[in-house]
């Protein structure tokens, strides 16, 4: 995930409803499908009290296409119906980055 | 955390070293101090295999000041020495957002 060009981060924060109800399987599927999308750069995710998933994309166009992906649309509908008590999506331009490795 | 003005997200992703070594206490302290900074909007955080903390700020200036805060600088040094195997910081302009609540 090294980038010199401008790129975008989609921050998806969510609170789950109780129980799995097929959520784990869907989450893995969505990650697998996202990775095959044009313009996909990477994805990182962790959940404790809330879940945070950040996906990285080459352009706003790539993000729009991923949002409109048929399998993803189906998961979004199930998400609103079954899986999420609430969520928030933020689409962000990455302006600056730095890192540390031991 | 409602915003109509442009604002920034700092995405901090990290992999921990083994053991706590005072990390949990420091993380809570840093969150408490961040909340007192000028221009602070909010903070969200979760850790599984990796940790993701996203803090939200009114301006790049507020982010720069928080990075240079004395207590925070001390924690950054300890972080590099003791707590993190690696980390990455991305400073992002939030361009668009939407949310869902049950």
DSSP string, A6-48: -EEEEEEEEEE-SS-TTHHHHHHHHHHHHHHSTTEEEEEEEES
Task: Give mean pLDDT, residues B97-102.
Answer: 94
Question: Which tokens hold the place of A6?
Answer: 């401008």
How confident is the model over B36-77, as pLDDT tens digits? 999 999 999 999 999 999 999 999 999 999 999 999 999 999
Q: What is the ipTM of this complex?
A: 0.92
How confident is the model over A56-70, as pLDDT tens digits? 999 999 999 999 999
Task: Select from B50, B92, B96 the Cβ nearest to the Cβ of A44.
Answer: B50
Q: What is the pTM of this model?
A: 0.93
Task: Give mean pLDDT, residues A32-43.
Answer: 96
Does the pLDDT at position B80 exceed 80? yes
A11 with B13: Cβ contact below 8 A = no
pLDDT, residue A5, reads: 82
Instruction: For chains A and B, count residue pairs whose Cβ atoms are closer than 8 Å.
Output: 106
Does the pLDDT at position B17 exceed 60? yes
A89 with B101: Cβ contact below 8 A = no
């Amino acid at each position: 995930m090294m980038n010199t060009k401008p790129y975008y981060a989609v921050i998806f924060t969510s609170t789950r409803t109780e129980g799995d109800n097929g959520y784990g399987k869907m989450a893995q599927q969505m990650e697998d499908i996202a990775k095959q999308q044009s313009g996909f750069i990477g994805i990182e995710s962790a959940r404790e009290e809330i879940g945070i998933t950040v996906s990285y994309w080459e352009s706003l166009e790539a993000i729009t296409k991923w949002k409109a992906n048929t399998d993803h649309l189906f998961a979004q509908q199930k998400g609103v119906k079954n899986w999420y008590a609430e969520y928030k999506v933020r689409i962000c331009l990455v302006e600056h980055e730095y890192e540390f490795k031991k």
